[in-house]
Amino acid sequence: MEYTLVFLPLLGALLSGFFGRLIGDRNSEILTSLLVSISAILSFIIFKEVTLNNYENNLVIFKWITSGLLEVNWSIKIDAVSSVMLVVVCFVSSLVHIYSIGYMSHDPHKTRFMSYLSLFTFAMLMLVTSDNFLQLFFGWEGVGLCSYFLIGFWFKKDSANKAAIKAFIVNRVGDFGFALGIFLIFYLFGTVNYDEVFSQIPQYINNEISFFYISLNAINLICILLFIGAMGKSAQFLLHTWLPDAMEGPTPVSALIHAATMVTAGVFLVVRCSPIFEYSQLALNFICLVGMTTAFFAATVAIVQNDIKKIIAYSTCSQLGYMFFAAGVGAYNVAMFHLFTHAFFKALLFLGSGSVIHSFKDEQDIRNMGGVWKKLPYTWILMIIGTLALTGFPFLSGYYSKDAIIEFAYMRGNFFGTLAAYIGIFTALLTAVYSWRLIFKTFHGSYENKNLKIESIHESPHIMVIPLIILAVGSAFAGYLFKELFIGPLSSENFWKDSIKFIIPLTTDHPPYWVIYLTPIIVVSAIPISYYLFIKNKSITLWLVNENKPLYKFLINKWYFDELYNYIFILPSKKIGIFLWKNIDVKTIDRFGPDGISSIIKKLSDKAVKFQSGYIYQYAFIMLIGFSALLTYLIIL
């Protein structure tokens, strides 16, 4: 069953990619969607076995590398953490495949798109089922490569090409740190297999290693390097700049990559490596700091953005910050719980935004929408459900997982945990405001589009709406149904077992009532406040913008990170490159190398060609000279 689950998406990718023209667009779409859907069904079966029967397994597909003491297998590891990820990846991917049939109906390259989606799914499955760091790195790079293909799918669009390259390069920065971490793990432990590494960690907690002539604790260094990889893949603060630009890809790509799969790989890495991170308080504090900073930063930027997909992209960035600071306070199971619920409502919001964009003929600016809730009733109500879940409205999925993060962070009792809880509460307010701003400006108020008549706006086809309905069910009920299993008092014993390690058990004390009730009160209060600001009395919003122009420009320009990186890295690199090209390559290497040699040969050939005059007496004269020279040489000898 596990083999079938993992390799069906690869089969779909190969058939659609290499034989798509032969089998046709529609058959390719149906085939890839069917195969990934079968994988989704199997993932639910495996999750049920893990939950009810404590099923665990490690299936060796084949021995991959054997060199001296190094043995690396190609495996499928099934435990609680991987089973959760299998459900998330396969379920969301199957719905995205089905949704894409409608969304990409007018695209001439459907088979290539479906092949990329399936290949991405396979790479992600390889990542989450690995039992060693090398296979994990293979899947890690595989999803990075597929994201490059998918973001730049419309390769004739210059902005899509630039966004794909940007995502690829920024991720390379994080991946370099990740690779160094894996090298250091092998250097210290002589293996890259999870179980063998984790079992040796207690013996190395006091080991130091020299890094750039500085003595550092080996475990701290490993954890920080691994987390740098996670920062790149999960678009955390400083390595986040690729995520909003990645919206240049088709909307199903945004849902697949940025809602439930690739960007959650970093969270999965930290949770999977909890037996290492638990021995590094420095790394956990760093993770907590980066997570809370990302959550706050992304929310402040999202509140002023106008592109519907970029608002949701920054929301993803912010919610990943929540997951990381949950892991940073040691609440790995709570981070996984939010990852699980977030997959439903964020995929719902992305696909819902795709439905809006589809209806508005590729318009993405929410300032050019409004007043269409009656025209798009299904999309409207389903996106409201997703928004309620995202903001943490009482008794929907986000309420259980996000509030749990804030509560566990506060109850951690240390400085970073308490600070993260306060920032999490304030970020929840910002999240509610920008989420309802999106809903109100997209569906309510007056119709603002000057290029399309409102009569032309219509609901998306059923093939696009049905996946939204399924995701809405998960967004509404997943938190309530799985709360006890994921974060209940006995969850670490009954479900997570050895897949997550807690050196310091999570507190079972009851948090203060103000911590429990404050966030839901803020979230509910934000709805009428947002309605008043963005629909009822827009003049207040304009007044706030005009009175705070510097702050508004700072936020609308995303804290000027792109400009800063351009000034620090891009421009100097260009200047160095141009100098090396013109002065070293052209004026030195080319001049005295290939160009110089070819110039000499050309001059010699120009002279030599004059000997080919066609007159016999000149040829005889040359032969006579040559014979005389040869004769003279022989006489001298």
Q: What is the pLDDT of residues 601-635, one digit of tens each?
A: 877 777 777 667 677 777 787 788 888 888 888 88
Mean pLDDT is lowest, of 77-86, 118-127, 325-334, 541-550, for 541-550
Q: Regarding predicted confidence, which is higher, 258 or 62? A: 62
* Three-class secondary structure of residue 235 per DSSP: coil
d(CA 620, CA 55): 96
User: Over the stretch 17-47, which tens digit does the pLDDT of each residue have?
Assistant: 999 888 888 999 999 999 999 999 999 999 9
Could you give the residue ranges of the DSSP H alpha helices within 211-329?
218-233, 242-245, 251-255, 265-272, 274-277, 281-302, 308-328
Please report how the helices 133-151 and 158-189 are oriented relative to each other, as an axis angle in degrees rounded to 10. Answer: 180
Backbone angles phi and psi of 139, in degrees to 5: -65, -35
**Which amino acid is residue 605, in one-letter code?**
S
Kind of pairing between the strands at 208-211 and 214-217: antiparallel
Average pLDDT, the chain: 90
Identify the residue whose tokens are 């959650």.
264
User: Over the stretch 531-574, which tens digit does the pLDDT of each residue have?
Assistant: 998 988 888 888 888 888 899 999 999 999 999 999 998 899 99
* Three-class secondary structure of residue 448 per DSSP: coil
pLDDT of residue 611: 66
Write the CB contacts of 267 (distance below 8 Å, at least 6 apart in sequence).
Answer: 230, 234, 320, 323, 324, 327, 335, 336, 339
Tally the residues of the chain: 637
User: Over the stretch 128-187, which tens digit does the pLDDT of each residue have?
Assistant: 999 999 999 999 999 999 999 999 998 888 888 999 999 999 999 999 999 999 999 999
pLDDT of residue 250: 87
d(CA 551, CA 546): 10
254 pLDDT higher than 90: no
The 10 Å CB-count burial string (b at 16+, else e) for 149-174 is bbbbbbeeeeebeebbebbbebbebb
Asked whether the whole model's pTM tops 0.85, one would answer yes
Long-range contacts of range 531-534, CB-CB < 8 Å, 24 or more positions apart? 531/436, 531/440, 533/433, 533/437, 534/436, 534/437, 534/440, 534/441, 534/445
Q: Regarding predicted confidence, which is higher, 102 or 68? A: 102
Q: Regarding predicted confidence, which is higher, 438 or 624? A: 438
pLDDT of residue 596: 74
Residue 196's nearest CA partner among 342, 72, 286, 309 is: 72
Backbone angles phi and psi of 214, in degrees to 5: -120, 130
Backbone angles phi and psi of 365, in degrees to 5: -85, 120
